[in-house]
Amino acid sequence: MTQRIGRTKPVTTNRRARHDYEILESFEAGIVLIGAEIKAIREGQATFSDAYARPENGELWLHNAHISHYSAASPGTQHDPKRRRKLLMHKVQIRRLTKQVTERGLTIIPLKMYIKNHRAKLELGLAKGKKLHDKRRSIIDRAREREAQEALSRVRLPR
């Protein structure tokens, strides 16, 4: 169930992103949509588990994001669900991201999609891939944190 926070309505999140990558920085980007894609997104018909963004010729493009067909659209107006989509950011931000991706070998991945003031927005993360031992360390750290919180909740404070 989605909940409204101010003027922002979350649509979908990439839950595997924080498991597979170490997020160094996050950015907000607009997304160029065609036809009934925005209506499909509002229905929650978007997923981007394997999606990534890539800078090409001074522009930023989203690859492998899947936006399903809108159920009420006519068959002639359907779009390719996996087509690449242009992302809207300031030129300075795109240049900076391009430099980081090419020089440091980082990846740009979508973290969250939401509706903000009637427009679809994407939260992108500049990420570094985790190795298997890093993933194990994250799981162990999360388990220890959870155990510590449980132990604190069991302790009764004197009055």
Looking up tokens 């809207």 gives 88
Q: Are 111 and 26 in contact (CB under 8 A)?
A: yes
pLDDT digits (tens, 9 = 90+) for 65-87: 888 887 777 666 667 778 889 99
pTM for this prediction: 0.72
pLDDT at 2 over 80: no
Confidence of residue 92 (pLDDT cuts 50, 70, 90): very high
Q: How far apart are CA 154 and CA 159, in angstroms?
A: 15
CB 41 within 8 A of CB 67: yes
Q: How far apart are CA 26 and CA 18, in angstroms?
A: 12
At 19-33, the pLDDT tens digits run 788 889 999 999 998
Q: Which of 60, 33, 29 is nearest to 46 (CA)?
A: 33
Identify the structural domains of the chain with CATH numbers, from first to last: 9-130 (2.40.280.10)
> At 36, is the pLDDT very low, low, confident or very high (cuts 50, 70, 90)?
confident
As a three-state string, the secondary structure of 26-77 is EEEEEECCCCCHHHHHHCCCEECCCCEEEEECCEEEEECCEECCCCCCCHHH
